[in-house]
């Protein structure tokens, strides 16, 4: 039982009258400070009155209802494009019975009160498709409690029983008395009401906001240039810095000749930090020119020498050795012995870069005794802790602004806070507000890639032509190893490591009815090769192997890949439902005109997806991807249009990876630098994308990554249909395929 669970609802929500009228709902407060994930210090006064300006944010303001009936919801999850700033307020507004047109959203401060329940309330951490799954229940309870308080206030005002009143669109309505009062009018009085312990939650059948395709709340600002990202933060006296980083990971600056750099007009200073050499200037252009003029000799004694080709050979060798078992059903060895045939296939997947559109950047204003930090991040809590370590400040002395991000895909959810640590080191040297900007090249070469992976899958077929055994072995880098090895963390007494099991979960949820299953994994540790999760993590590679190999088995036993899967999913109704739905929506088996189809299915993040890809292949190996059809079951879709947008997004993200995605290392040096040598999908290469939502009414599932893993195998299966060639490695450019 987590600590949060022990805290009563009464403590969880704190309500007060806003200065000047209105209602302020805060979660946390009271005994909540004990839940702080940060080391306690003298500045931590138990969540009461603020002692420092930074402390004011710790109060954890959650929602404001102002007297003019406007409602503002503060969102603890990061807005990285997935629509957290819209869908999370929709959940609150639903139970509150709010007038959605009067609801706005803001990013929350970084405070324990806003931690993601999915990570046991330890962190604000927006990874693993966990925002809706994590925050759903709590947001409903808060909305329902405040609604009840508004009703109670109205009942008092009118002298009637609360249960004779109802609510609709931010009004409490007395049908008998023929009167109504807005939430705004009632807000001050409602703040004096006791907080209900177990406010009733709506029957899902009564939802009117959840399940509706509302326009994004940030849509207007994201179309007129006014939406502010970390890159756009501008504060008085702010300098701009870029960092010259070593050509090989973990290299250290040995000798720095900064004469030419300092001679560049606008350059103020040059500082050697742990991560490299920072050039600080009045503006970006001067800083960048200064960096080009730097002459740095690097100490490469401890530098990484990862080489893509060498590593591939090593991984392939390890495929022959047993790994750490992660799933064992039945007796695989026996089944293999009894089988009439066992076939296997090896797969390889390269390093890939996230390449979010907004390159990494951090603004730090540090004056020696306190700091203010702005950055687009998926991991604000850990960022703030590391900032405190670098700057020698207590959490209370740091005001951390979690900015919306121009894309994340996992890169901004680095538990090691690499970009924040670098920026704090620069700020500590400069003692003046400074914005550290990563250029695209810095971002592309900066590491923390999706790790390369080798996978071997085998299946045994018995005399009755049934699949009697299945094995799946992965070799890849443990993306959390760096975190645990990092000695910086040693100084974090009391700090509990985030529960990362879900993130390094190598179980693909292989759904097929096969009695004997062995899945094992080799998690390699390479401290000089920074790797990190990237949208759908290991599912990208593991599901690729699983879902292309299942197709091979179907061919082997002479069955249609759709029917073969369907038969093996007799005990998996949700897999089967999306598989049937996509077959139906895509017209499975009815393609013509040289178009080939491929199909794949999977379940993860409490959600399910099946996809059909349609492709044609020309004689000179040019691929034309015509259409990608997806069927998704995410339990309950809070905002169906945003679910569809996430699937569209995932399909395009996956196609970029499958077609071109490859970071190559030669003797430790990354070979790619920008979108010319690391291409991503463009408009003219984008297929028609159709998505159907299978409404299962189940609890909410994750959506952000769901659309990624099946695109690759479905495309590979379609290419096989067209060419009789099996794809065993990515990207497809390695097999000399081009995209038309």
Options 680, 698, 726, 729; binder of other proteins; rule CB under 8 A: 680
What are the DSSP calls for 420-464, one per residue? HHHHHHHHHHH-S-EEEE--HHHHHHS--BBPPEEEEEEEEE-TT
Site string for other proteins, 685-714 (x = CB under 8 A): -x-xx-------------------------
Nearer to other proteins, 157 or 627 (CB): 627
Instruction: Quote the CA–CA distance of 497 and 503 in Å, as a whole number.
Output: 13
User: For the chain, first and last CA: distance in Å?
Assistant: 55
Shortest distance, CB of residue 285 to other proteins, whole angstroms?
4
Options 231, 279, 434, 545; binder of other proteins; rule CB under 8 A: 231
Options 284, 330, 342, 559; binder of other proteins; rule CB under 8 A: 284
Shortest distance, CB of residue 352 to other proteins, whole angstroms?
12
Instruction: Quote the CA–CA distance of 247 and 225 in Å, as a whole number.
Output: 36
Site string for other proteins, 569-608 (x = CB under 8 A): ----------------------------------------
Contact flag: residue 360 with other proteins (CB under 8 A): no
Q: What is the dihedral of CA 491, 495, 499, 500, to 10 degrees?
A: -20
Shortest distance, CB of residue 644 to other proteins, whole angstroms?
9
Nearer to other proteins, 291 or 456 (CB): 291
Site string for other proteins, 241-280 (x = CB under 8 A): ------------------------xx--------------
30 token code pair: 């009271």
Options 154, 553, 615, 651; binder of other proteins; rule CB under 8 A: 651
424 token code pair: 């704090």
Site string for other proteins, 397-426 (x = CB under 8 A): -------xxxxxx-----------------
Contact flag: residue 82 with other proteins (CB under 8 A): yes
Options 235, 295, 317, 357; binder of other proteins; rule CB under 8 A: 357
Options 83, 143, 276, 702; binder of other proteins; rule CB under 8 A: 83
Nearer to other proteins, 191 or 650 (CB): 650
Nearer to other proteins, 186 or 663 (CB): 663
Contact flag: residue 676 with other proteins (CB under 8 A): yes
**DSSP conformational letter for 160:** S
Instruction: Quote the CA–CA distance of 298 and 163 in Å, as a whole number.
Output: 74
- Sole residue written with tokens 């402390």: 55
Contact flag: residue 285 with other proteins (CB under 8 A): yes
416 token code pair: 């090691």
Instruction: Quote the CA–CA distance of 90 and 284 in Å, as a whole number.
Output: 39
Nearer to other proteins, 587 or 640 (CB): 640
Options 682, 695, 699, 734; binder of other proteins; rule CB under 8 A: 682
Nearer to other proteins, 6 or 228 (CB): 228
What are the DSSP calls for 337-348, one per residue? HH-SEEEEEEEE
| Nearest to 47, CA basis, from 22, 12, 82, 5 | 12
Name the 3-class secondary structure at 696: coil
How far is C-alpha 339 from the geometric centre of its chain's CA atoms? 42
Instruction: Quote the CA–CA distance of 160 and 409 in Å, as a whole number.
Output: 52
Contact flag: residue 500 with other proteins (CB under 8 A): no
H-state helical runs in 294-430 = 308-318, 332-338, 380-391, 418-430
Instruction: Quote the CA–CA distance of 655 and 716 in Å, as a whole number.
Output: 11
Options 684, 697, 724, 736; binder of other proteins; rule CB under 8 A: 684
Contact flag: residue 653 with other proteins (CB under 8 A): yes
**DSSP conformational letter for 663:** B
H-state helical runs in 194-307 = 259-263, 284-293
Contact flag: residue 445 with other proteins (CB under 8 A): no
Nearer to other proteins, 205 or 683 (CB): 683
Site string for other proteins, 191-230 (x = CB under 8 A): ----------------------x-xx-xxxxxxxxxxxx-
Shortest distance, CB of residue 204 to other proteins, whole angstroms?
23
Q: How large is the C-alpha radius of gyration of the chain?
A: 27
Kindly give the pairing relationship between strand 13-17 and strand 23-27. Answer: antiparallel
| Nearest to 151, CA basis, from 109, 116, 182, 118 | 182
Contact flag: residue 649 with other proteins (CB under 8 A): yes
Residues forming contacts to other proteins in the complex (CB under 8 A) are 80-83, 213, 215-216, 218-229, 231-232, 234, 240, 265-266, 283-286, 292, 355-359, 404-409, 437, 439-441, 641-642, 645, 648-653, 656, 674-676, 679-684, 686, 688-689
């Amino acid at each position: 039982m987590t600590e949060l669970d022990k805290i009563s609802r009464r403590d969880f929500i704190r309500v007060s009258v806003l200065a000047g009228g209105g209602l302020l709902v805060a979660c946390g407060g009271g005994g909540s400070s004990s839940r702080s994930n940060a080391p306690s210090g003298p500045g931590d006064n138990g969540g009461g009155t603020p002692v420092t300006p930074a402390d004011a944010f710790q109060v954890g303001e959650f929602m404001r209802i102002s007297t003019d009936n406007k409602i503002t919801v503060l969102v603890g999850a990061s807005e990285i494009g997935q629509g957290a700033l819209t869908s999370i307020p929709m959940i609150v507004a639903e139970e509150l019975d709010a007038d959605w047109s009067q609801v706005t959203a803001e990013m929350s401060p970084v405070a324990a009160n806003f931690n993601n329940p999915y990570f046991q309330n330890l962190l604000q951490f927006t990874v693993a498709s966990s925002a809706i799954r994590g925050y759903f229940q709590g947001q409903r309870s808060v909305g329902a409690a405040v609604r009840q308080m508004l009703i109670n206030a109205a009942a008092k005002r009118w002298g009637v029983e609360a249960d004779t009143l109802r609510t609709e669109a931010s009004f409490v309505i007395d049908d008998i008395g023929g009167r109504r009062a807005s939430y705004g009018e009632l807000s001050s009085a409602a703040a004096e009401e006791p907080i209900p312990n177990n406010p009733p939650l709506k029957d899902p059948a009564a939802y009117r906001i959840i399940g509706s395709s509302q326009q994004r709340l940030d849509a207007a600002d994201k179309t007129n240039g006014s939406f502010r990202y970390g890159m756009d933060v501008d504060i008085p006296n702010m300098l701009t810095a870029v960092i010259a980083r070593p050509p090989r990971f973990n290299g250290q600056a040995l000798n720095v000749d900064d004469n030419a750099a300092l001679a560049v007009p606008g350059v103020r200073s040059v500082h050697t930090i742990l991560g490299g050499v920072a050039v600080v200037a009045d503006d970006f252009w001067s800083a960048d020119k200064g960096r080009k003029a730097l002459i740095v000799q690097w100490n490469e004694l401890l530098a990484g020498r990862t080489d893509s080709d060498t590593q591939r050979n090593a991984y392939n060798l390890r495929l022959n050795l047993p790994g750490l078992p992660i799933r064992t059903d039945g007796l695989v060895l026996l089944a293999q012995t009894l089988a009439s045939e066992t076939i296997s296939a090896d797969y390889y997947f390269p390093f890939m870069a996230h390449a979010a559109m907004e390159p990494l950047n951090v603004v730090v204003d540090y004056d020696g005794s306190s700091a203010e930090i702005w950055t687009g991040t998926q991991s604000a809590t850990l960022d703030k802790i590391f900032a405190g370590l670098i700057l020698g400040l207590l959490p209370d002395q740091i005001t951390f602004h979690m900015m919306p991000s121009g894309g994340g895909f996992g890169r901004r959810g680095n538990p090691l806070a690499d970009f924040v640590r670098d920026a704090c080191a620069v700020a500590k040297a400069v003692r003046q507000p400074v914005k550290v900007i990563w250029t695209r090249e810095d971002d592309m070469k900066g590491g923390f890639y999706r790790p390369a992976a080798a996978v071997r899958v085998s299946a045994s077929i018995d005399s009755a032509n049934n699949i009697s055994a299945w094995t799946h072995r992965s070799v890849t880098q443990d993306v959390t190893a760096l975190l645990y090895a990092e000695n910086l963390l040693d100084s974090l007494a009391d700090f509990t490591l985030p529960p990362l099991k879900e993130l390094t979960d190598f179980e693909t949820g292989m759904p097929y009815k096969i009695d004997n299953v062995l899945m094992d994994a080799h998690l390699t540790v390479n401290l000089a090769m920074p790797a990190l999760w990237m949208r759908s993590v290991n599912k990208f590679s593991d599901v690729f192997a699983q879902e292309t190999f299942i197709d091979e088995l179907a061919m082997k036993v002479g069955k249609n890949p759709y029917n073969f899967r369907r038969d093996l999913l007799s005990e998996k109704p949700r897999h089967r439902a999306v598989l049937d739905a996509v077959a139906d929506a895509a017209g499975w088996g009815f393609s013509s005109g040289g178009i080939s189809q491929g199909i794949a299915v999977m379940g993860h993040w409490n959600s399910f997806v099946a996809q059909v890809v349609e492709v044609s292949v020309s004689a000179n190996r040019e691929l034309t991807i015509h259409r990608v059809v997806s069927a998704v079951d995410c339990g309950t879709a809070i905002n169906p249009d945003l679910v569809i947008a996430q699937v569209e997004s995932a399909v395009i993200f996956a196609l970029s990876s499958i077609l071109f995605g490859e970071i190559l290392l030669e003797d430790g040096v990354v070979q790619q630098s920008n979108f010319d040598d690391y291409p991503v999908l463009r408009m003219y290469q984008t297929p028609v994308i159709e998505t159907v939502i299978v409404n299962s009414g189940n609890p909410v599932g994750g959506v952000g990554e769901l659309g990624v893993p099946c695109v690759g195998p479905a495309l590979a299966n379609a290419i096989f249909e067209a060419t009789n060639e099996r794809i065993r490695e990515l990207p497809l450019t390695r097999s000399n395929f081009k995209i038309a």
